[in-house]
Amino acid sequence: MTEEQHDRHGGTLGVGMVGYAFMGAAHSQGWRTGHRVFDLRLRPRMTALCGRDEARVAAAADKLGWDSTETDWRALVARSDIDIVDICTPGDTHAEIAIAALGAGKHVLCEKPLANSVGEAEAMVVAAERASASGVRSMVGFTYRRLPAIALARQLVADGRLGEIRHIRGQYLQDWISDPDAPLTWRLQKERAGSGALGDIGAHIIDLAQHVTGDLIGSVAGMTHTFITERPLSTESSGLSGRTGSDRGQVNVDDAASFLARFHGGALGVFEATRMATGRKNTIRLEINGDRGSLAFDFEDMNVLHLYDAIEEPTTSGFRRILVTEPTHPFLAGWWPPGHLLGYDHAFVHQAADLVRAIAEGQDPWPSFAEGLGVQRVLQAVEDSAAKQSWVDIAP
């Protein structure tokens, strides 16, 4: 933000958000709360919420705390009182909105995955790099990076506590479409979502593995599968393509994906993303093994990180349970006394605060669009590998 903009807005940043469903509600929590927990030089203002249905977006704005509404994202981007555009829409709209917003001088927060294709993501990176030269910032919303336990895990790996990394295991397990009568939604249509479980939740474990280890995936061998190929049409999906009858539509994305990975640093990876793991609602697991130790994380116990020190005396060695709630732990200084646990929504507060802080300090925030592109290339390589039934290298 330039000094002129700072003076014009009186130390505030006008936020305009496109989309108001699940992710919109989560992002709203971040914008409402970030400046109340952390000391920020600039204060975000929830200026406008955008959605196509005038009545529904008005109801959402009233519930979530937005000052005004728009029904066209172009009108939102054009408003002089909007400094940040927050994109919480299906993937098929990310590139168009983000590129237009950056071109208009607006900072951008874009939900993951960054786009529906590598080509779209590359165009977004070009726009972001061009805008950065003029002080306009951009960030992709891999929110799980901002869980304190994940941030601590990254610190421990960077400090060499695990030594040479040898194995990386990532899982994201859900069961929300295991019922064959669950309706067809936009997340189950390739033209809207890009891919299924692979892109929607697999993107998270790819990003976490690369972020925590500081290493990148160099090649993959993957497989994908769709267990339920037709589903009942909902109001949302009635206009989508792939219709096969009067009341059912075709699912054309994966329900589950698994892949092996080789990291540039030499580690082997095993990844699984599925929406068919009955009994699992939002299980995210990450385990990293090195020659000096290991760490393990499970989102179902999100305030805890398990650490094993291979150098410790064998008589008393074993995985140690670390309750990540100390004020010296990442993000915790602004919250509650030790032992008072955080939840899912707190990561969105950290995300909003970090973006506002980066804008105020004139720094590019993380994860960048370029990092989002890196994940997009892994997703594409897994799809290509599944189609070819062979290993696929990922372009640097």
pLDDT recorded at residue 1: 43
Q: What is the average pLDDT score of the chain?
A: 94
* pLDDT tens figures, 224-273: 999 999 999 976 655 554 554 468 999 999 999 999 999 999 999 999 99
Tell me the domain boundaries of the chain: 3-144, 148-301+303-338+375-388
pLDDT recorded at residue 58: 98
pLDDT recorded at residue 247: 86
Q: Label residue 139 exposed, middle or buried (CB < 10 Å: 0-12, 13-18, 19+).
A: buried
- Nearest to 87, CA basis, from 317, 381, 355, 380: 355
Rounded CA-CA distance 260/272 in Å is 9
pLDDT recorded at residue 5: 52
Domain 3-144, architecture per CATH: 3-Layer(aba) Sandwich (3.40)
Mean pLDDT computed over 329-355: 97
* pLDDT tens figures, 174-193: 999 999 999 999 999 999 98
Residue 41 in this model has a pLDDT that exceeds 90: yes
pLDDT recorded at residue 134: 96
pLDDT recorded at residue 234: 76
Say whether pTM exceeds 0.85. Answer: yes
Residue 33 in this model has a pLDDT that exceeds 60: yes
pLDDT recorded at residue 193: 87
* pLDDT tens figures, 93-129: 999 999 999 999 999 999 999 999 999 999 999 999 9
Give the pair of three-digit tokens for residue 147: 């869980």
* pLDDT tens figures, 272-314: 999 999 999 999 999 999 999 999 999 999 999 999 999 999 9
pLDDT recorded at residue 7: 46
Report yes or no: 259 and 389 within 8 Å, Cβ to Cβ. no
pLDDT recorded at residue 69: 98
Crossing angle of the two packed helices 346-361 and 22-37, in degrees rounded to 10: 60
Report the topology of domain 148-301+303-338+375-388.
Dihydrodipicolinate Reductase; domain 2 (3.30.360)
Rounded CA-CA distance 66/50 in Å is 10
Rounded CA-CA distance 327/334 in Å is 8
Mean pLDDT computed over 194-213: 97
pLDDT recorded at residue 239: 53
Indicate the pLDDT class of residue 15, thresholds 50, 70 and 90. very high
